[in-house]
Chain A
């Protein structure tokens, strides 16, 4: 069993793919499935990755395309339905201890369009440059900027209406 040494370079990126998928989809099982699909695709096409180019961007691009395809196909893969009957497309966690602090930001994220959520997360969580986000999403950088602006302003509206709970929490 090979451990840290000799580990495939993709492995180091798995936690990041997971984090983004979890934030994007708001559902653990769906996110794990998307990451798994991404790994499978990346592995089968690894010969196409040019050494020296940004592996992270390449992986995120693959994952984005897989997700975009799934959305286009109606994303009716079994087992991936939200069991939440609230009608929200994005499940909102409200367990006992996270109701106060975690739900607002996730709730608000769920209300963004997918386009806006992608940009807000790639820039805000993955700390990607606007150009990297544009590469991953396959859109011009101007589109990234306008989606980022609309997404963040929508979040500002939503979270400001939430008693400012989030704003108080973060220094």
Chain B
């Protein structure tokens, strides 16, 4: 099986699989592959690997670019500022002292204290769990009935898990959380086809809480929160979405909770 031409090396097999050989060399490699099942199976693997990598990661190309990301002037925010913004979440969580000030930018400066606290808790819970790869939820959607019953019992209120499939967001499951003021809260998590996640944070509010309109807050790193109080319950929908996109989902959640 001697070959009179230059020996075929590893580089040739990779270049063949990647389509980077000139026609003459390609023909030589093809002859070699025909004689060597081992070389053939390697080349086949390299090609399949590239196809598989594209299949896995190409969906990222289709993820929408926020308006901010398309605006060069918004790219200049310093890395330090971003690190501080994230560190704020970490420090608050670690200290157990929850304060919304300095953490969130509120467009509702008149919001009375409990509501921003609700938003801050929701944002922190989102930051902690939405990035989680192994254990994003405590109880998965496969046990939805159990999840809802359990959370309702722990919160002392009938809880519903809204469904957003028609908007492209699949319920993944949920978890029980401590509430800042004591007591318990919970979080439902949703994921879209692009792997983005949003969370719905729910906790019981004090007896004398007035109901509120939807209020909006944005963490400096682009995480947005809509929160509202309704019938002794506080709700917050959190995600790295544009305000209008998040609001659209908020309305659907609200309708389902009210129905």
Question: Cβ of B45 and Cβ of A152 under 8 Å apart?
Answer: yes
Known contacts A33-B82, A78-B87, A123-B18; is A105 also within 8 Å of B53 by CB? yes
Interface size class of B (residues with CB under 8 A): 35 or more
Contact yes or no, A79 B87, CB < 8 A = yes
Partner of A40, one of B53, B55, B58, B77: B77
Which of B27-35, B126-134, B244-252 is the contact stretch?
B126-134
| Residue interface mask B107-143, A partner, CB < 8 A = 1 | 0000000000000000000011001111110001110
Cβ contact of B75, chosen from A27, A43, A91, A105, cutoff 8 A: A43
Of all chain A residues, which has the CB nearest B87?
A78
Does A79 contact B90, Cβ atoms closer than 8 Å? Answer: yes
B70 x A105 contact (CB < 8 A): no
A102 part of interface (Cβ distance < 8 Å) = yes
B51 A170 Cβ-Cβ under 8 A: yes
Cβ–Cβ < 8 Å partners of A7 in chain B = 70
Asked if B48 and A96 sit within 8 Å, CB to CB, the answer is no
Check B48 against A145 for contact (C-beta < 8 Å): no
Minimum CB–CB distance from B210 to chain A (whole Å) comes to: 34
Q: Dominant SS at the B interface?
A: helix
Main secondary structure of the interface of A (DSSP, over half): helix
Chain B residues with CB below 8 A from A42, complex form: 75
Number of A-B contacts (CB under 8 A): 140
| Cβ contact within 8 Å between A124 and B10 | no
Question: Which residue of chain A has the shortest Cβ distance to B68 in the bound complex?
Answer: A36
Contact B86 A79 (CB under 8 A): yes
Structural contact, B70 and A11, CB atoms closer than 8 A:
yes
Which one of B59-67, B148-156, B157-165, B201-209 is at the A interface?
A: B59-67
Bound-state CA distance A96–B136 (Å) is: 11
Within 8 A of B (CB), among A1-38: 1, 7-8, 10-11, 14-16, 18-19, 22-23, 27-29, 33, 36-37
Within the complex, the shortest CB–CB distance from A127 to chain B, in Å, comes to: 8
CB proximity of B190 to chain A, nearest CB, Å? 12
* A86: chain B residues within 8 A (beta carbon): 134
B72 touches A8 (CB 8 A): yes
**How far apart sit A166 and B46, CA to CA, in the bound complex (Å)?**
12
Whole-angstrom distance from the CB of A108 to the nearest CB of chain B?
Answer: 9
Interchain CB contact under 8 A, B65 and A15:
yes
- Please state if A83 and B131 are interface contacts (CB–CB under 8 Å): yes
Q: Which residues of A contact B11 (CB under 8 A)?
A: 145, 149
- Chain B contact residues, CB within 8 Å of chain A: 10-11, 14-15, 18, 20, 42, 45-46, 48-58, 60-63, 65, 67, 69-70, 72, 75-79, 82-83, 86-87, 89-90, 127-128, 131-136, 140-142, 172, 191, 195-196
